[in-house]
A and B are shown apart, each in its own frame.
Chain A
Amino acid sequence: MNFDFNEKQLMVIKNAKEYTEKYLAPGVIERDETSTYPIDAYRKLGELGFVGLPYSSEYGGSDAGYLEYVLAVEEIAKVDASMAISYSVATSLYAGPIAGFGTEEQKKKYLPPVLSGKSLGAFNLTEPNAGSDAAGVITRAEKKGDRYILNGLKCFSTNGPLADYFFVVASTNPELKTKGLSGFIVEKAFPGVSIGKIENKMGIRSAQVSEVIFDNVEVPAENLILEEGKGFMLAMKTLDSGRMGVAAQGLGIAEGAFEIAKNYLKTREQFGKPLYKNQYLAFKMAELEMQIEQAKLLLYKAACDKDTGKPYTISAAKAKYACTNAAMDVTTAAVQMLGGNGYMREYHVERMMRDAKITQIYEGTNEIQKLVISGGLFR
């Protein structure tokens, strides 16, 4: 067993850090306040090959693996959780099903624009009546000749308002419930695709999340991934991987807040001594440090499972659960440790706390993760 990063991984971390400092740290507070997405920073992320980290260079990827990708998301989330999720959605949720199950033509056509950072990609599964329960999907894809006619409304689509490409799960056979779901690649440019309400959120405010509406959209049949009825499987497999992105986001948020708290405890003096000399605070930090490390090991293990071809559904669920809970616990504690300052925007931790909350919710709530893990136990 080897717990050391190799040189490539160390360089991914180093360069992701440099990218983050240069392109994301400036203005992170303002972007949160104004809900502004830094599209140029995303383009740069693509140009530098981060978006394509786990994919083949044949399709504009960087020939690395999921661990490398997870490390990059983690590094970015230490500073900007909004970009971390936008990135994760593009890489895991949009590109994932295409790279994993698409045809050669689909991969050649639909991966490079997103992996290179020229376009954003999004994932459309959730509907107003289909959250954790995908069987509630009512968006319909009816086959007419060599195309499908798509009708319906998707919600909570991260990157939705900015994306040029969508992975959409729709029903080709409502009677079959989840077995009647199918996955499609849909272009924003197809007539009938429009953006609905753009959400005003508690956290990840710089990320753009919206409804996406399909009104008699003609989708060429060759944009169906695999065959009809494979949509549910595609969505679940995709979310298994996506959860590692969310886990990395949560881990990064936790580490970012931890670092701020640590520096604060070292420099802030009350009652004539630095705060860290209060054992209550020092011990609390020890606990958080352990929680972060536990979460980290679960995440890296899950990524290694995927990279080495092992099953990773359960390990990804564990990682997502541990990392996102660490995010919530650490940020909440950090706000408390920074006292009044912690509640103020310029100290970052209040934003991180708001950002942390969603990580426990999306891409499978943490209750769903327990369902996945326990399901594995008693199968």
Chain B
Amino acid sequence: MKSVKVNQNNLNDYSDIWVIGELNDGKIHPVTVELIGKGKELINNLTGKKLNVIIIGYGVQNSAEKLLHYGVDKVLYVEHNLLKSFNTDYYVKAITDLIEDRKPEIVMMGSTYTMKDIGPRIAARLGTGLISDCTELEIDSSDGKLIQTKVSFGGNLLSSAICPNNRPQMVTVKPGVMNKAERSEEASGKIELVIPKLSENDTRLNLILKEVLEKKQVNLDKAKIVVSGGRGLKEAAGFDLIRELAEVLNGEVGASRVPIEAGWIDSSHQVGQTGVTVKPDLYIACGISGAIQHQAGMYQSKYIVAINKDPNAPIFKICDYGIVGDLYEVIPQLIESIKEKRMF
């Protein structure tokens, strides 16, 4: 019989909050520091719990030490030469074994492709619940349970869930949502080396090639974020700025009719009645007045941001957020602020 191994041990055996950290080429992923920030907030509402960070890889002691500057109680670094590169089987086994051994109450991960790959599998192996892509986490003051909130239904429904009878309570959190933990010059807390029991028999995957990704080729109509430029750019060079913003946001570049006709950018970028209809999560209209034929191609975007000098531009009527100002002043600062939020 197919049985989901639901773990029904004594819930009181479980304590501590864990952040499963993520490293990218030896650098700590920003979401890890965001999760530490949230974790610190959560333990303030729980008595006697500790905040630990787990990182896995090979030769990661350095990173573990760096993480001690964020005010966590302990960093466990799981080292094995088989963990050098991403491998679902090894990663799942190393983390699951550690969770079974140490019994954390809450396990937080970033909603990255890596964690979305292994997180659900770890939860299934443990027989516990995982809520993915959360944007809010809080502790229910009455019973200490973790209330996990996420947006679903194409952004139309906000729902909160709990995992009442199983431990750990697992969650993946959207990057860029939680506030980062502050870095202090002083290191505090302990680091602990964990050597997982892994052998080559534990995987069915054979890595034959690992490459760094060049910029993704995404079509305008499928893009989650579109940054568009219009007449207000004044010249072709203005699109360098638009491109830079799009790149930081991992989005695509769009344009209204004027730049296309002026030859500032290729017509494949045109958004509007003529051109592509886009429905991204975020549409940033820069120097676009918002003529109705442009609106026709973008009004279904989930969020619309408009940056324009002219306070009477029609685009301000259909946007969620507007900035009346010079885009050449606004965008560079916006790029900087976004970078700050993403890196450290």
**Chain A contact residues, CB within 8 Å of chain B:** 29, 263-264, 267-269, 341, 346-348
Which residues of chain B from 220 to 260 have any CB-CB distance to chain A below 8 Å in the complex?
257
Of the stretches B56-64, B132-140, B187-195, B288-296, the one at the interface is B288-296
B273 touching A347 by the CB < 8 A rule?
yes
Judge if B299 is at the interface, Cβ distance under 8 Å.
Answer: yes
Closest to B276 in A: A26
CA distance A263 to B295 in the complex (A): 11
Can you name 19 A-B pairs with beta carbons within 8 Å? A29-B274, A263-B296, A264-B292, A267-B292, A267-B295, A267-B296, A267-B299, A268-B292, A269-B317, A341-B292, A341-B293, A346-B257, A346-B272, A346-B273, A346-B274, A346-B293, A347-B273, A347-B293, A348-B273
CA distance A347 to B297 in the complex (A): 12
CA distance A263 to B257 in the complex (A): 20
On chain A, the residues within 8 Å of B295 by CB distance are: 267
CA distance A36 to B84 in the complex (A): 57
Interface string of B259-278 (1 = CB under 8 A from A): 00000000000001110000
Chain B interfacial residues counted at CB < 8 A = 10
Closest to A264 in B: B292
**Chain B contact residues, CB within 8 Å of chain A:** 257, 272-274, 292-293, 295-296, 299, 317
On chain A, the residues within 8 Å of B272 by CB distance are: 346
On chain A, the residues within 8 Å of B292 by CB distance are: 264, 267-268, 341
Closest CB in chain B relative to A20 CB, distance in Å: 14
Closest to B299 in A: A267
Most chain A CB within 10 A, of B257, B292, B317, is at: B292
CA distance A263 to B274 in the complex (A): 15
Closest to B257 in A: A346
CA distance A244 to B285 in the complex (A): 45
Closest to B293 in A: A346
Closest to A25 in B: B277
CA distance A263 to B272 in the complex (A): 14
On chain B, the residues within 8 Å of A264 by CB distance are: 292
On chain B, the residues within 8 Å of A268 by CB distance are: 292
On chain A, the residues within 8 Å of B274 by CB distance are: 29, 346
CA distance A263 to B277 in the complex (A): 15
CA distance A347 to B294 in the complex (A): 11
Closest CB in chain B relative to A1 CB, distance in Å: 38
On chain A, the residues within 8 Å of B299 by CB distance are: 267
Other than the given A267-B292, A347-B293, 8 more pairs (CB < 8 A) read A263-B296, A268-B292, A341-B292, A346-B257, A346-B273, A346-B274, A346-B293, A348-B273
